[in-house]
Each structure stands twice: as C-alpha cells, then as structure tokens.
C-alpha cells in the first residue's frame, strides 16, 4: 500500500505543477458561484418547484455538493483521464514495467491520483461555498461540519466512481481513444437522467427532506425538482432547511460505491500488461498497446512522408508571404487529415448522405452526418504535435500558409461529409438552409482548429463539440450552428453572418496564437 500511495501522490504532484491545473481550480470556483447566485437572480442550479433554501451552511454545502457531483462527474473525467496513455507515450511505462510495482498497485495508484485531483477541485468548490455564504449575507453563522458533510456523503462517492472510470477507459482498447470521450458524455447523461439530476444516487433523501420542509412552511407541496442550469421567470422563494438525516443504510450505500470504484479501477489488471511487451495475452492490453503503437507509427511515417514531399518542393522566387495557399498544400493537408480512416467509416458517411438526399427533411441526416466525423475533426491543430512532427513543421518558414491550408482541408472534409443534405436543400430551393449549411461547414473546422491549437490536445474539441451538437439536436436554437433547428420551415439558429463571422474570428485567433508561439521560440 505504501507504493500505491507514493505513486498516487507523485502523479498528483506532477499534475499540480501544470498551468492547466490553475484553470481546473478556477472552473471549480466558477461552478460554486453559479450554484449560489444572488437573491434576485433568475438563474439557478437547484430549483425545488419555485423554491430554494436559505443560504445557511447546511443548504450551501448540500447545493454545492450536489452540483459538484453532477458537473465534476462530467468535466472531471476529461481532466483526469489519459494518465496511462501519457506514461506509455513518455516512456515512463517502460521504467514501471521493470519496477517491482504490481499491475494492481499501478492501477490503484492512478486511481488514487485521479481521486486526489478531483477532491482538490471539490475542495476549491467547498471553499467558494464558504466565501459565498458570507458574501450573500442571508446567514453568516458558519457551521463547518454542516458545510462539509454533504461533500463526504454526496460528492466523494461520485468522484471515486469517476476516477475509477478514467482508469478503466485508459486501459480498454477503443475507449482510450477519442471515442471514449463521446461514450462518457452520453453515459453521464443517462446517469444524470436516471438519478433525477444527481448521478449515482444520493439525491432521494435530500429531495424528500426539502419537500417536507417546503410543505410544512408554505403549505404547498413542491412536486417539481431540477438540478442543473435553469432560467426561471422570477427569483425563487426562500425556505429555511436544516438538512437531512443520514441513516445507516444510506451511509453504507455510499461507502459501497467507493469500494466498487476501487474494484473497478483494479479490474483492468486482468488484461493490462503494465507496458511489458513480453506479456502477450489474448485480448490483453499489452497486445493492444503493441498493435496501437504500430498503427501510430504507421500514421507518423505517413505524415512524415506527406510533409517531406510538401516541404521538398523547389523554392519559388516569389516571397512566401505573398504566395497564395496552393491546391497542392490543401490536398496534402486533407490527405494527412483522413489518414487512417477506414473504408467502412466512409461507407457510413455515404449511407448518411444518401439518407439526407432522399429524406423529406434533411435536419436529422445532417445532425448524424456532422457528429460522425468528430474524431477526425479533433485532429485539426493537434495531430502534428501528438505525432512528434511539431519541431519539423515549425522549422518551415511559411507556417501561416500551412495553418490556412489545414483549415481549408477541414472545410473541404466537412463539406464532403455533409453534402447529401446540402444537395437536398439545393433541389428544393431552400436558400436560408443552404446559407446555414455553408456557415456550419466553415464553423466546425474553425472550432476544431482553434481549440486544438490553444489546448494542444484533441480532447477539448471532442468535449465542446459534443455539448454544442447535443444542444442543437435538443432544439436549443442559440447554439445551433449546424442548421438542424427549424421553426416554421426556416432555420432558427444564429444568423449565417454571425456564424461565419465567428468562424473567421476563430481562424484569426488560431493564426495569432501560432504567430505568438513561433515568435517566443
């Protein structure tokens, strides 16, 4: 156990030294602020049929703990996952394979590290809750036990399951790729809906206690309940709540979740080879690691070959800054973007576009067409770095043209994947829908490129775009950049000039970030 603890603490310390950790803590502080809005606010996270609790320690701790369980389960997963893959990529895994640390010990160490990161985020949330209780001024009597106890019972078990799931996803072939990010998002939605807004249970006794308090104080039963960002017509009424009774059965159930989480984190030891190439087991992770490493090496060699051809062209007497982006550069970037995409993947694209061409309304096929390529889009702005090509490409003097060519390749790729619905819109003469489609085809690769350039990882776009896409298909018109929300036969999303302007602004931001980084080298 000492080795496990040492592994967890060392990995946690390494993560806290990164600049991204400051962003993580800041996000937790923002979540606390949103959970406890001012008394006259028309936005809320906890709404009990038009009521909210008085901002005392009990309610403040419970509300922020529930919000933490809900939102840290989603965002925290993306923060902590990828440590096993990083050990493989950096060569640390080979050192661990030669150490006496067992497979179970390694996995539990990663689980502990993930949990420490998530707990630190919850700690920042709890500190924010304390400050806001005093700042809101409804009750300045601070009860530390009442404030922190909900985090123990409601948030900690959820964070334990999230930390374990991150380890599991990192060791299962397929799930450790970008597909795992998408699977987790929809799995989180299922858990949130099944738990009434609170993943992995724990909400029932809290909700029942609050309802009883509202009914007793106002003679009005509070049947409705929501946990999540909600806009209300008027500020919520206030009731004073003293907390819920923690029964032995409830406490045992929450403890059982932590035990299950630890078992889930250790389960991959059955197939995980701990980076030892000599371990070969049927279906084992060691086999998958070797195969994936081979495929990754093939991709790297393919990209190196493509860029070698592009960079070895004869020099032109025209200054590079005055040369336009050539079609050859765009085609080269397009070839790099779709490298490794299989034939069956393209067959799905074909089927979706045929459906978009013959369907009475192209909205549904378009939504399907523009979620399927998400893993390919996420390579924009990141694939050269993830495959170790950044030093080679940064030495090329015409970097701006290369980034523009990469963006144009993304636009072409997006247009190809959604051409069926476009043809249908053109045939029926739906001009507004065509304009919305065109700006959407520019917006998506622009978003992928700017997020990939800034964050230097494909994961950011995968998370952000899934949320935007999900909002659009659920008829949230304000976030419909795809053109799938239709009201009275017309697109209801932002105007095409707004979407197109945002796309060009993101391209400009990409080029600016790239120029600044190049100048600072």
pLDDT for residue 118: 93
Verify that 261 and 291 share a domain, yes or no: no
Q: Which SS3 state, helix, strand or coil, does residue 418 take?
A: coil
- Cα–Cα dist 77/100, whole Å: 29
Q: State the number of CA atoms in the 13 A half-sphere of 13 facing the CB.
A: 6
Residue 422 lies inside a defined structural domain of this protein = yes
The string of pLDDT tens digits covering residues 115-132 is 999 999 999 999 999 999
Instruction: Judge whether residue 172 has pLDDT over 70.
Output: yes
DSSP state string for 267-311: GGGGT--TT-TT---TT-HHHHHHHHHHHHHHHHHHHHHHHHHHH
pLDDT for residue 220: 67
Verify that 293 and 382 share a domain, yes or no: yes
DSSP helix, strand, coil percent of the chain (3-state; round to 5): 70, 5, 25
Number of domains in the chain: 2
Q: Work out the average pLDDT over 289-312.
A: 47
Residue 193: pLDDT band with limits 50, 70, 90: low
Verify that 265 and 333 share a domain, yes or no: no
pLDDT for residue 19: 64
99-103, 239-243, 315-319, 335-339: which has the minimum mean pLDDT? 315-319
Within 10 angstroms of residue 519's Cβ, the number of other Cβ atoms is 7
Verify that 184 and 217 share a domain, yes or no: yes
More confident residue, 482 or 156: 156
More confident residue, 154 or 323: 154
Comparing C-alpha atoms, which of 177, 152, 147 is closest to residue 63?
147
pLDDT for residue 300: 47
Q: 371 phi and psi, to 5 degrees? A: -120, -30
Q: Which SS3 state, helix, strand or coil, does residue 11 take?
A: helix
Residue 75 lies inside a defined structural domain of this protein = yes
Listed as own residue / partner, the contacts of 242-248 with beta carbons closer than 8 Å and 24 or more positions apart are 242/58, 242/213, 243/58, 243/62, 243/146, 243/209, 244/205, 244/206, 244/208, 244/209, 244/210, 245/205, 245/209, 246/149, 246/153, 246/205, 247/205
Q: 37 phi and psi, to 5 degrees? A: -75, 165
Verify that 77 and 136 share a domain, yes or no: yes
**Alpha carbon of residue 425 to chain centroid:** 32
Q: Work out the average pLDDT over 309-336.
A: 64
Instruction: Judge whether residue 339 has pLDDT over 80.
Output: yes
pLDDT for residue 293: 42
Residue 2: pLDDT band with limits 50, 70, 90: confident
- Cα–Cα dist 12/401, whole Å: 40
The string of pLDDT tens digits covering residues 359-374 is 888 888 888 899 889 8
pTM for this entry: 0.73
More confident residue, 71 or 411: 411
Q: Work out the average pLDDT over 53-74.
A: 91
Q: Which SS3 state, helix, strand or coil, does residue 491 take?
A: strand
Instruction: Judge whether residue 319 has pLDDT over 90.
Output: no
Verify that 350 and 401 share a domain, yes or no: yes
Verify that 39 and 66 share a domain, yes or no: yes
Residue 280 lies inside a defined structural domain of this protein = no
**Average confidence score pLDDT of the chain:** 81
Verify that 166 and 217 share a domain, yes or no: yes
Last residue of a domain, one of 215, 245, 272: 272
The string of pLDDT tens digits covering residues 248-282 is 999 999 999 999 999 999 999 888 876 766 654 44
- Cα–Cα dist 157/257, whole Å: 6
Q: Are 81 and 180 in contact (CB under 8 A)?
A: yes
Q: Work out the average pLDDT over 284-308.
A: 45
More confident residue, 294 or 169: 169
pLDDT for residue 386: 64
Q: 490 phi and psi, to 5 degrees? A: -130, 150
Within 10 angstroms of residue 237's Cβ, the number of other Cβ atoms is 14
- Cα–Cα dist 88/441, whole Å: 36
Look up the domain containing 413 and give its range.
286-311+321-520
Q: Are 136 and 38 in contact (CB under 8 A)?
A: yes
Strands (E) located in 147-257 = 226-231, 237-239
The string of pLDDT tens digits covering residues 417-473 is 999 999 999 998 888 889 999 999 999 999 999 998 888 788 788 888 888 888 888
Verify that 242 and 378 share a domain, yes or no: no
Comparing C-alpha atoms, which of 460, 417, 462, 442 is closest to residue 503?
442
Give the CA radius of gyration of the chain. 26
Q: Which whole-number Å values give the CA distances from 50 to 47, 69, 126, 223, in the listed order?
A: 6, 22, 25, 10
Instruction: Judge whether residue 314 has pLDDT over 60.
Output: no
Q: Work out the average pLDDT over 489-493.
A: 80
Residue 158 lies inside a defined structural domain of this protein = yes
Q: 91 phi and psi, to 5 degrees? A: 90, 0
Q: Work out the average pLDDT over 168-179.
A: 85
Residue 279 lies inside a defined structural domain of this protein = no
Instruction: Judge whether residue 95 has pLDDT over 70.
Output: yes
Verify that 448 and 373 share a domain, yes or no: yes
Q: Work out the average pLDDT over 485-495.
A: 81
List the beta bridge partners of residue 230: 44
Verify that 266 and 383 share a domain, yes or no: no
Q: Which whole-number Å values give the CA distances from 143 to 199, 226, 339, in the listed order?
A: 26, 26, 58
Verify that 205 and 330 share a domain, yes or no: no
Instruction: Judge whether residue 64 has pLDDT over 90.
Output: yes
Residue 317: pLDDT band with limits 50, 70, 90: very low
């Amino acid at each position: 156990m000492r080795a496990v603890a040492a592994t967890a603490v060392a990995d946690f310390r390494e993560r806290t030294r990164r600049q991204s950790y400051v962003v993580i803590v800041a996000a937790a502080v923002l979540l606390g602020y949103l959970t406890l809005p001012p008394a006259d606010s028309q936005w809320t996270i906890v709404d009990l049929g038009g009521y909210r609790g008085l901002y005392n320690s009990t309610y403040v701790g419970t509300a922020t703990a529930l919000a933490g369980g809900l939102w840290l389960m989603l965002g925290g997963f993306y923060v902590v996952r990828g440590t096993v893959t990083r050990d493989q990529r950096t060569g640390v895994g080979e050192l661990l394979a030669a150490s006496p640390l067992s497979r179970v010990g390694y996995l539990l160490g990663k689980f502990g590290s993930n949990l420490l990161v998530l707990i630190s985020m919850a700690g920042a949330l709890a500190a924010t809750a304390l400050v806001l209780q005093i700042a809101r001024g409804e009750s300045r009597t601070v009860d530390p036990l009442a404030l922190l106890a909900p985090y123990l019972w409601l948030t900690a078990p959820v964070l334990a399951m999230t930390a374990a799931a991150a380890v599991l996803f990192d060791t299962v072939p397929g799930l450790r790729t970008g597909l795992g990010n998408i699977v987790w998002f929809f799995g989180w939605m299922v858990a949130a809906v099944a738990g009434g807004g609170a993943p992995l249970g724990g909400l029932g006794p809290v909700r029942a206690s609050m309802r009883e308090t509202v009914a007793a104080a106002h003679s009005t039963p509070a049947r409705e309940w929501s946990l999540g960002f909600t806009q209300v017509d008027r500020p919520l009424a206030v009731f004073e709540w003293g907390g819920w009774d923690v029964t032995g059965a409830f406490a045992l159930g929450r403890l059982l979740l932590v035990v299950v989480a630890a078992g889930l984190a250790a389960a991959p030891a059955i197939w995980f080879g701990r980076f030892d190439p000599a371990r070969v087991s049927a279906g084992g992770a060691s086999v998958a690691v070797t195969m994936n490493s081979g495929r990754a090496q093939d991709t790297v060699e393919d990209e190196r070959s493509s860029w070698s051809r592009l960079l070895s062209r004869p020099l032109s007497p025209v200054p590079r800054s005055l040369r336009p982006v050539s079609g050859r550069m765009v085609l080269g970037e397009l070839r790099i973007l779709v490298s490794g995409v299989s034939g069956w993947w393209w067959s799905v694209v074909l089927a979706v576009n045929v459906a978009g061409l013959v369907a009475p309304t192209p909205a549904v096929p378009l939504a399907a067409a523009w979620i399927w390529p998400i893993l390919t889009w996420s390579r924009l702005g990141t694939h050269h770095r993830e495959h170790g090509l950044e030093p080679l490409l940064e030495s090329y003097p015409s970097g701006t043209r290369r980034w523009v060519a990469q963006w144009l390749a993304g636009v072409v790729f997006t247009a190809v994947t959604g051409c069926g619905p476009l043809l249908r819109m053109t045939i029926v003469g739906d001009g507004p829908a065509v304009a919305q489609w065109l700006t959407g085809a520019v917006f998506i690769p622009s978003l992928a490129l700017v997020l990939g350039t800034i964050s230097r990882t494909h994961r950011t776009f995968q998370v952000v775009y899934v949320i935007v896409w999900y909002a659009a298909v659920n008829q949230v018109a304000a976030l419909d950049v795809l053109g799938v929300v239709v009201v009275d036969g017309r697109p209801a999303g932002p105007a095409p000039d707004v979407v197109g302007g945002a796309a060009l602004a993101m391209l400009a931001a990409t080029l600016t970030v790239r120029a600044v980084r190049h100048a600072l080298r």
